[in-house]
Chain A
Amino acid sequence: MKKLDRNQMAARVARDIPDGSYVNLGIGLPTLVADHMPKGREIILHSENGVLGVGPRPAPGAEDEDLINAGKEAVTLLSGGSYFHHADSFAMIRGRHLDFCVLGAFQISLAGDLANWHTGGADAIPAVGGAMDLAVGAKQVLVMMEHLTKKGESKIVERCSYPLTGLRCVTRIYTDLAVIDVKPDGLHVVETVEGLSFDELQRLTGVPLKRLLTAA
């Protein structure tokens, strides 16, 4: 089978984001999606710290300490972009104005519960940022993650063992092995990577999957 690498996963997510969408990309892996937006689509990126119309990273030496994204990386502003304060920024999130957010995850449950902010370790210092607001606020919550942990265990589970970020909030899962929709009646496999059969994906995944016609 041909597992997707990080950039291929990002490109796969980007393909599903239509022209005219307002999108928040979580820190880490989801940030890569910005680099793969299909040409010809006008997609407006939102950043929690008060930006609509986030542009590409600036040229070396052109960074501005007052213009950063939620990951505190230097960015630029697209023509037509705007700045606003934090309460307005989270009104956009919580008020269901964002079409999509793309988040990373430690685990996702059969019901679409998301765990992505805390490993639950006793000595871990917790940090949640805007993840819980995005999980309940965006119209579509897309999750992008590797299908299996480093130990080979499925990150899609019956019930999350890590502390939850949000309940029944994930709408679609993109992994290095498959694209899976979360629906009220279960997990529907939309597609699998080349050379991976539905049965093999089912064997690797901890919970029952449903087969869509388009799955390999």
Chain B
Amino acid sequence: MIDKFFPSVEAALADVPDGATVMIGGFGNAGMPAALIDALIAQGARNLTIVNNNAGNGDAGLAALLKAKRVRKILCSFPRQADSWHFDALYRAGEIELELVPQGTLAERIRAAGAGVGGFYTQTAFGTRLAEGKETRRIGERDYVLEYPIHADYALIKADRADRWGNLVYRKTARNFGPIMATAAKCTVVQVREAVELGSLDPESVVTPGIFVKRIVKIAASLPLRSTSQSKAA
């Protein structure tokens, strides 16, 4: 019998080694798997490479992981924000490596990894500083930049509901990077609000089919509702 539910976040992340590449879902706080990140901090893995759209907001979640100095390198599109003070301090002190990736290229590099694609050409960033040193090619009337997939050892994501096979549905814009990160990691760990019986999710509406999911933890309470209006950046 397949049952991907784990009893605790601790059990679900017990084997994350030092030096792992970990994708973390979320766009700002929407879809950020806060319970999994807290467990990763407690677990103690160091020297991590993190993939996320941002580089932490405020003091919780990814920001707390950065503050705990567990992250060697981060790949993201939008680190600098009004409340990214933990990243800013580490970056200015030279204590974290940043690979800045345009948001669509970040998404497509993740998707490519999950789909077994070895690379792709995109017009995005052609002729800019973010394409320096990269192979380019003219296809038809346009110029493109070669980009490579981003693979991960773990993906930590948040979904709304899951069944024991790992089929997932998300909630509103908390979906963001979750479905593609789930495909790109060797071990995808999902924090869900609700566990449902097998067969109760509408098969037409499953967003992430269970094949992409290894471990699920039900988290009774989600993050407290908080205002997101202070942070004006993408």
Interface residues, chain A, with chain B CB atoms under 8 Å away: 27-28, 47-51, 63-68, 70-74, 77, 83-87, 89-90, 93-94, 118, 123, 125-133, 136-137, 163-167
Contacts and interface: CB of A to CB of B under 8 A. Distances in A.
Contacts of A68: 27-28, 30, 173, 228
B100 A132 contact: no
A83 B123 contact: no
B interface, size bucket: 35 or more
Contacts of B108: 87, 90, 94
Nearest to B170: A83
Contacts of B111: 87
Interface in B1-43: 27-31
Interface in B219-234: 223, 225-229, 231-234
B172 A72 contact: no
A111 to B, nearest CB: 11
Contact of B107 (A65, A70, A87): A87
Interface string B110-149: 1100000000001111111110000000000000000000
Contacts of B188: none
B79 A49 contact: no
B80 A125 contact: yes
Given A127-B80, A131-B102, A166-B126, 12 more contacts: A49-B173, A51-B173, A66-B173, A66-B174, A67-B30, A72-B228, A72-B234, A86-B53, A87-B111, A123-B92, A128-B100, A132-B102
B234 A70 contact: yes
B105 interface: yes
Contacts of A165: 128
B172 A83 contact: yes
28 contacts: A27-B234, A50-B173, A65-B29, A66-B173, A68-B27, A70-B234, A72-B29, A72-B57, A72-B228, A73-B229, A74-B229, A83-B172, A84-B175, A85-B175, A86-B110, A86-B176, A89-B107, A94-B124, A126-B98, A128-B100, A128-B130, A129-B233, A130-B103, A132-B102, A132-B130, A136-B126, A165-B128, A167-B127
Interface stretch (B61-69, B177-185, B196-204): B177-185
Contacts of B124: 94, 132-133, 136-137
B160 to A, nearest CB: 8
A48 B171 CA distance: 16
Contact of A65 (B87, B127, B128, B225): B225
Interface string B154-194: 00000000000000001111111111100000000000000
A90 B111 CA distance: 11
Contacts of B53: 86
A127 B81 contact: yes
Given A71-B232, A83-B173, A83-B175, A129 B78 contact: yes
B88 interface: yes
B49 interface: no
Contacts of A137: 104, 123-124
Nearest to A49: B27
Given A49-B27, A66-B172, A83-B173, A129 B103 contact: yes
Given A65-B30, A93-B104, A164 B232 contact: no
A130 to B, nearest CB: 4
Contact of B228 (A65, A87, A125, A131): A65
Given A72-B233, A133-B124, A164-B129, A86 B107 contact: yes
Contacts of A64: 172, 225
B176 A130 contact: no
A98 B50 CA distance: 31
B84 to A, nearest CB: 8
Contacts of B80: 125-127
Given A65-B226, A85-B176, A129-B77, A72 B28 contact: yes
A125 B227 CA distance: 25
B226 A130 contact: no
A71 B126 contact: no
A73 B172 contact: no
A66 B31 contact: yes
Contacts of A84: 175
